[in-house]
Structure 1
């Protein structure tokens, strides 16, 4: 008897594990996780089937590899649905969407929209058109390097200034000393030095100069959404980050999130997504600006976020919502997550040591006392002892990480 569906998850990282865990929780099934190399997060797991295919990393072979895998799977499953755990896999899936659609459900936007949204310059232009607030921004290019000092001196906002790449994937591939995910520069000299450092590497795409929005990590908000094949938003879940990873190359990766609810944010971003005809998972990062009293968006991820098991842990299983929308094509009104929950990507002890606001500590303790807590990588149904030991060590290393890198944010 043919089974209804099988999730095929690309990537072997914690994001991939979180999605496989969601599908296992909802349906008791083992997803197929396919990647070009093993990572401890999925290796040895008993809740998924892992397939390592080195050729998956070769863009010219990507569609052929997946279509070959589909040949055998389609003998057993009516529907194969693709999920990406990283930006690189999103880009490949979207680029080869037409070649994959005969064998897979591909719950992603088309390439023209992806290319616009993947560029921070393009994303901010759409924000402007759709009325989403974003920080003051200036785009610079490598061709302007000789005149960079004059360009920087003409900025019409004060320091610190944030410097970050417009093309995250090309920047990820660039390797150079002192590389940071984003730079917070407190003077023109430091900003100019950082620009030259980046452009002396293989990165040659535009850079974004942006006003710094003051406030600690709890001033951030992270919004996870799912839009159906008709472009209508099915699920919205808002979280308040409590701490970010302080490692310079991982700045912006959340390590603890508590539930938040904001009707204005939901309304704004629902209008934005439906206005551009968005399809599939989306993930937004934004920060509250005390100067304007508004949340300003930094970026969109064209997939579920790395910390988005927060959504499933809150009681809104991302895997189930995806299957309802794209396999069973169920129609329903937008659901807005409103359950109390705490997601942890670090040990509780680390969170309580470095979280300063007493009101947030109180809310954290309430979630813990009421057992309203989840993690991505621990799962009682996954009983591989060696994997669980690696997970324990992985979380434990954050004690040293925070001691080494943590700096209070004003």
Structure 2
């Protein structure tokens, strides 16, 4: 293949002299954020992103304004909104981008209207779109060019309905061996149909399962063609992804290929890569170039294909008329995707074709989760080495890596750290920094979008809202253990033996709301240790299982970016767990306050100082200092020395 690695392109990392631009995105998933980030990294271009709902991918972004348009799927609403934006930004070059097939079709169908409004539309013509977006048309072109595709049976659902609908399904001839794969011929038509169990791709194990699926399609009056394809054996690591750009002069100026390591498994995103290892595949680049040249395609295209272990050849499934949701692997591989588009449509000048071939790991899931599902020892070793060298990227992570900043210095290029692979379910605040530093993500300390019960339970348990219970959190046990010398017997309290663990708990609970008198160190620390154990056991038994399930569901929702998907609801078990932990914490609030006040009295300090515990961070330090300070020898203004003699337990 002609072309050069992206890192050898002179000046690619430098900012280009371009007119003022504005990226206008339609759809707010992580793929759109990756595009917005690529434009910002290359040109410091701002963006406005339209979506049906506020999405987690765009939440708090400082490089993109997320505009929520509830009826965005309606053509008139979409077009009028875009025209309104164009009126507001008539002084800028407007680049319209989308990652959804149905929006691509709408844009192409209304090309003249949108171009008249001032938009740059880097998409193919309608006849080319009709040919390549149909999987049947894709297979026809591949057959002419000798590009391998899986054996396929096309089911005309409209004809099936005319022949009797569900009753006519058993008579269909499907000359394929099960299991098979089922998918729509046209993704734009698939978007508007709804039926039980709908998924982006269906894996079908038996004829009975196929008949049930086709029956659902007939009942829903699906107007398109449904394809039943031969299943190519091999796990997800045999899948491949290829991204290409063919410019308006007919030159393929960008090619990138990668091995899929993990796919998403939510129904609406099934089969979309969640992790890609950038690897060069010359045969795939050649096949894609021939296909794009044959069809006269213009713009970004994304090919899905798989290595067939039976033949050792790549088998091609489809081409998507868009850059793809997982496009950041291209930028991470060394070829910023914004550059080829701007050079072609904005600057109108030819560039040398580039290939993104630098080995880098792209992932939108935590690295630990990915490593768990990569079973091949050699692959696992490779991705661990990439993590160790900092060549792991996530478009929502804090920094760009060496791979996505080809012009950066070697030191700056190694700034990707473990933060790059942290869970995308944690809330992020993105911040646009000044050149030449890349866009960063500022993480907040508390997950966003959680219910009031979740937040209240966490605050009451962890002490952020109620600082007096700060030491009750399970992870504070280590701090308590650091003070065991005061209560373990290695340091004897003055004039008397230590109060025992059981005696301490009995004393504190007996003095449930007694704020007068004094409390020795062993009484204080044994009680706090017991409190931490109780809270920790309850938390891990009642909260952690539900929280794990909720976090997983939230992460899948965040990665899906499907505006039609329902926001995951908190499991009932998690709500009950938080309620129980919170009630226990509230029940123990008074004795906890009382023993703190008595401990202050023992050191000669007034109990009113306990109000200082309302100050975050400081409260934790004060608890340690007050708890570890020896009491005043002998009687003081608050009562007799509790260590002078055994004190009777007050009722």
**Global fold match (TM > 0.5):** yes
Quick one: structure 1 residues 339 and 122, their matched pair in 2 at CA, closer, same or farther if it must change by over 3 Å?
same
- The yes-or-no answer on 1:104 pairing with 2:119 is yes
For 1:92 and 1:32, how far apart are their aligned partners in 2? 19
Moved more, 141-150 or 209-218: 141-150
Quick one: structure 1 residues 337 and 391, their matched pair in 2 at CA, closer, same or farther if it must change by over 3 Å?
farther
CA offset digits 1:151-200 (Å, max 9, x no partner):
33x51x32212121222223232222222322222222222122112322
For 2:125 and 2:203, how far apart are their aligned partners in 1? 34
Quick one: structure 1 residues 387 and 250, their matched pair in 2 at CA, closer, same or farther if it must change by over 3 Å?
farther
For 1:391 and 1:354, how far apart are their aligned partners in 2? 28
CA offset digits 1:109-143 (Å, max 9, x no partner):
11122122222222222222333221001111222
> Which residue, 43, 58, 82 being the options, matches 2:96?
82
Q: What aligned pairs does 1:205-354 form with structure 2 within 5 A after superposition?
A: 205-354=224-373
> Which residue, 36, 46, 60 being the options, matches 2:52?
36
Tell me the SS of whatever aligns to 2:172: helix
Moved more, 256-265 or 113-122: 113-122
For 2:210 and 2:55, how far apart are their aligned partners in 1? 36
Match of 1:94 in 2: 108
Quick one: structure 1 residues 188 and 234, their matched pair in 2 at CA, closer, same or farther if it must change by over 3 Å?
same
For 1:53 and 1:3, how far apart are their aligned partners in 2? 28
Quick one: structure 1 residues 256 and 399, their matched pair in 2 at CA, closer, same or farther if it must change by over 3 Å?
farther
Once the two structures are TM-superposed, the CA of residue 38 in structure 1 deviates from its matched residue by: 1.7
8 Å Cα contact 1:241/1:256 also seen in 2: yes
List runs of 5+ in structure 2 lacking aligned partners: 1-17, 400-438, 451-547, 557-651
8 Å Cα contact 1:175/1:202 also seen in 2: no
For 1:357 and 1:388, how far apart are their aligned partners in 2? 36
- The yes-or-no answer on 1:397 pairing with 2:552 is yes
Quick one: structure 1 residues 19 and 202, their matched pair in 2 at CA, closer, same or farther if it must change by over 3 Å?
same
Quick one: structure 1 residues 400 and 265, their matched pair in 2 at CA, closer, same or farther if it must change by over 3 Å?
closer
Tell me the SS of whatever aligns to 2:375: coil
- The yes-or-no answer on 1:135 pairing with 2:150 is yes
- The yes-or-no answer on 1:165 pairing with 2:181 is no
Tell me the SS of whatever aligns to 2:24: strand
For 1:104 and 1:16, how far apart are their aligned partners in 2? 17
Which contiguous aligned blocks of 4+ residues in structure 1 show a shift greater than 6 angstroms?
391-395, 398-401
Match of 1:45 in 2: 61
The root-mean-square deviation of aligned C-alpha atoms, in Å, is 2.6
Once the two structures are TM-superposed, the CA of residue 4 in structure 1 deviates from its matched residue by: 3.2
Q: Of the two, which has the highest radius of gyration?
A: 2
For 1:335 and 1:394, how far apart are their aligned partners in 2? 43
List runs of 5+ in structure 1 lacking aligned partners: 402-410
Match of 1:376 in 2: 395
Q: Say how many residue pairs are matched.
A: 396
Quick one: structure 1 residues 349 and 385, their matched pair in 2 at CA, closer, same or farther if it must change by over 3 Å?
closer
Match of 1:114 in 2: 129
Once the two structures are TM-superposed, the CA of residue 60 in structure 1 deviates from its matched residue by: 2.7
Quick one: structure 1 residues 184 and 305, their matched pair in 2 at CA, closer, same or farther if it must change by over 3 Å?
same
Match of 1:408 in 2: none
Q: Which has the higher strand share?
A: 1
Q: TM-score, normalised by structure 1?
A: 0.89
Once the two structures are TM-superposed, the CA of residue 349 in structure 1 deviates from its matched residue by: 0.7
Q: TM-score, normalised by structure 2?
A: 0.57
Once the two structures are TM-superposed, the CA of residue 389 in structure 1 deviates from its matched residue by: 4.2
For 1:368 and 1:231, how far apart are their aligned partners in 2? 38
- The yes-or-no answer on 1:358 pairing with 2:377 is yes
Tell me the SS of whatever aligns to 1:397: helix
Once the two structures are TM-superposed, the CA of residue 394 in structure 1 deviates from its matched residue by: 12
Which structure has more RCO (C-alpha within 8 Å, separation ≥ 6)? 1
